[in-house]
Structure 1
Amino acid sequence: MYSKTFDLGTVRRETVVTVRLNTMANVRLLTEVNFTAYRRRQYYRMHGGVATAPLFKISVPATAHWYLVLDVEGLEPRPLHPQVTIGELTEP
């Protein structure tokens, strides 16, 4: 599959969402309103960008209900096998 959607539920401001990817992908962190607009192919605002490395971290800008969308739109179409962690990732 070339896209994955994660309903993160209510996430507190400054929480770190960590995405581990097997391929380059677009990472879109969207509020409920913007997620609905994204699905309807309307104008939307997002946080994120293109993940060019296997590990992508994004800090949640406000406490709200969030969705995370990963896709390869505009990139080489490869199946996505992401791992998503909500909360600070402990690095050794």
Structure 2
Amino acid sequence: MEATVFDLGKLRRDAVVTIRLEAMANVRLLTEVNLQAYRRRQYYRMHGGVATAPMFKIHIPANAHWFLVLDVEGLENLPLRPRVSVEPEPAVMARGRTGPR
């Protein structure tokens, strides 16, 4: 099974990506540069890991254009049927502010 790539677009730091899967998968959150390196099988940096539960969440580490890659390399090749959603950052409560200054 080939990797499934989701173009998440530009996301703000602390947004949350939620992935729902029906089987175990490698979940990789990558910038465009790292996505290209991943595709060329070169060294790349990622956020994520192996999703062993039906729901996996990743917090966006920095403002950037992000891609989500799902694959089953090294795992049992079962249908993933992924559902991906992005929640904006919890700006007010996470930053301790109550409104604009």
Q: CA deviation at 1:3?
A: 2.7
Q: CA deviation at 1:79?
A: 2.0
8 Å contact kept, 1:28–1:48: yes
User: Which entry has the higher C-alpha Rg, 1 or 2?
Assistant: 2
Distance 1:13 1:3 in 2: 25
Distance 1:12 1:40 in 2: 27
Match of 2:72 in 1: 72
Match of 1:37 in 2: 37
Distance 1:80 1:2 in 2: 12
Higher helix share: 2
Distance 1:67 1:2 in 2: 16
Do structure 1's residue 15 and structure 2's residue 15 form an aligned pair?
yes
Q: CA RMSD in A?
A: 1.1
Distance 2:42 2:81 in 1: 27
Residue 33 of structure 2 aligns to a residue in which SS? helix
| TM-score, normalization by structure 2 | 0.83
Count of residues in Structure 1 that have an aligned counterpart in Structure 2: 88
Match of 2:84 in 1: 84
Q: CA deviation at 1:80?
A: 1.9
Higher strand share: 1
Which letter does structure 1 place at the counterpart of 2:57? Answer: K
Structure 1 segments unaligned to the other structure (5+ residues): none
Which letter does structure 1 place at the counterpart of 2:21? Answer: L
Segment drifting more, 52-61 vs 75-84: 75-84
Which segments of structure 1 move beyond 4 Å, counting only runs of 4 or more? none
Distance 2:40 2:79 in 1: 23
